[in-house]
Structure 1
């Protein structure tokens, strides 16, 4: 799908209505506008809606259905936020490694692409955090290379999506690999997460290191759970280096950040957030409150 393809989320346009219809798990449910959150939203978004840079497909966060329409946890969460704010969200395909430049160029208002909130990224972006998870190692079913921990990846080809925190994490293991008498991890950096999974399936990489939410979904659903499995590291049962995931927006857009944060809290308070997490089997990665720029917590 081309980068200019616009994918429109349902939600009411600004003004006039006190509720909006959001599609959840194939049924229609009413999500009430949160007047306080909507009042914080800058006027220009009430008029034009919110344009979202989304890296699709990146299951289960962003996916495309059989008709090439968007779905996934981020999509459904954005629907609920749009209903709370009384505006329309428009999802636009944008590759992960070009999402930040696209914001800087004024092509999009926010990023919803399963983007991790890190101290380094907070130099450029603010994040409205909605998720907390570590990284996991995904291998072929049966674990033919007997990978049990990150150091078992030393000297081997490991797939990651380009411009992700996972790549930075693995690069940081060079000294530990050397101390273990092995070569550095050979990163196979690919455009999309699905490309990384394909590399594992085709034996071009022994593993894919990815967010726990994405890895868990792949292990459970690909080939009805018969293609991948997760490495169980006893020292890191919840994954490696747990971090927050958030909605990214440019520094200085404080009113939009506050409006999104309040809308997110409202989605949590009315139970919609928990239902969406359960729909995509992501409940283990829930956070207990909305927050902005929590990378250092």
Structure 2
């Protein structure tokens, strides 16, 4: 696998961890999703002027934001809150690495980040409609997504820009005790694995299956499920030997599922790649403001603190990057 195969990457703007969907369909799908707002200290967020209704803020980078977002006082974030420890639901809140990074960004930008949970493969399709200003959902930055291409190289949209904020590699989740002795991706040849539908891991697993067959190492069977939880259940029941996931997520599942008694995680660190905050290509002002805010929280330490809180410090970057994916 290449660096572009880290988790929730899809090949296209409108989907392949996400399959390609029209924006209207995506909007309908997301409309039924649960709206949850990232909670926390928003002391630097703007306050509305009683007369004009506009938001005013003393936050250092508030003036860098587009006027419409300054006025609204909110950046609307699309996410799939089913991916602990990156983003997941806890009561009525969405919590995790991404919401905590967003809280730190909020203090620099002076507006709140309002997270809405939807199905992963509909998120990018809803971005051009204005339902979201950004997507922040452990989404891998890939050239295909930047260019709006599907997994066959067909143009499906204008593409998006990414502000890269984290790195992750492939994590191989196996049953506790690792009964099949899996140590690397090559060890999966001749076996059955489970993945979440529409993720880069689904695409990468199919590519691995073709490689296994070409190399004469046996047939690799790939089963795809709507959610990663279903893929995990398949592994736990013995129906598949492994679930492919991002390294911090696989490690978190191994640590917490069944009190740490259900799974083990093997990291494939050679294929690390970027997670990015996706922004519509036309909205370069918002993109650049988020990049500057990210550099600020990296410098002041709040970024690393957010990662360390969830045991994800290994994925820290030292400088914000725009479209660094391959």
If the length of structure 2 is used for normalisation, what is the TM-score? 0.79
SS at match of 2:216: coil
Pairing of 1:62-77 with structure 2 (within 5 A): 62-65=87-90, 67-77=91-101
- Residue 36 of structure 2 aligns to a residue whose secondary structure is strand
Q: Is the 8 A contact 1:54 1:112 kept in 2?
A: yes
Q: Does 1:90 align with 2:114?
A: yes
Question: Cα 1:44–1:184, aligned 2, differ >3 Å: closer, same or farther?
Answer: farther
Equivalences for residues 198-213 of structure 1 within 5 A: 198-213=233-248
1:186–1:248 Cα change, 3 Å: same
Say if 2:116 is the partner of 1:100: no
Tell me the equivalent position of 2:207.
172
The equivalent of 1:78 in structure 2 is 102
- Counterpart residue number, 1:54: 79
Q: 2:134 aligns with which of 87, 97, 110?
A: 110
Cα distance in 1 between the residues matched to 2:230 and 2:32: 18
Partner of 2:46: 13
Change (3 A) 1:3 1:262: farther
| Whole-angstrom distance in 2 between the partners of 1:64 and 1:256 | 27
Match of 2:68 in 1: 44
Deviation at 1:148, TM superposition (A): 2.2
Q: Note closer, same or farther for the CA distance 1:264–1:167 as it changes in structure 2 (3 Å cut).
A: same
Asked whether 1:245 is paired with 2:278, we answer no
State the Cα distance separating 1:183 from its structure 2 match: 4.0
Offset of 1:207 from its aligned partner?
0.4
How many residues of Structure 1 are paired with residues of Structure 2 in the alignment? 274
Q: 1:48-75: CA deviations, max 9, x gaps?
A: 211111101210011111x232110111
What is the CA distance between 1:187 and its match in structure 2? 1.8
Output one character per residue of 1:164-220: Cα deviation in whole Å (capped at 9) or x when no partner: 122222222234312443444222222222222222112232101111111111112
- Alpha-carbon offset, residue 2 of structure 1: 7.7
Q: Distance in 2 between matches of 1:144 and 1:183?
A: 19
Query: Hey, what's the Cα distance between the residues in 1 that align with 2:233 and 2:200?
Result: 20
SS in 2 for 1:134: strand
Report if aligned partners of 1:50, 1:88 keep a CA contact under 8 Å in 2.
yes
Secondary structure of the equivalent of 1:116?
A: coil
Q: Could you tell me which residue of structure 2 aligns to residue 279 of structure 1? A: 309
Q: CA deviation at 1:17?
A: 4.4
How many angstroms does 1:254 deviate by?
Answer: 0.4
Displaced runs of 4 or more, over 4 A: 14-17
2:34 and 2:118 in contact (8 A); partners too = no
Kindly report which structure 2 residues correspond to 1:161-200, keeping only aligned pairs within 5 A, or say none.
161-200=196-235
Structure 1: distance between partners of 2:38 and 2:210: 46
RMSD: 1.9
Gaps of 5+ in 1: 19-32
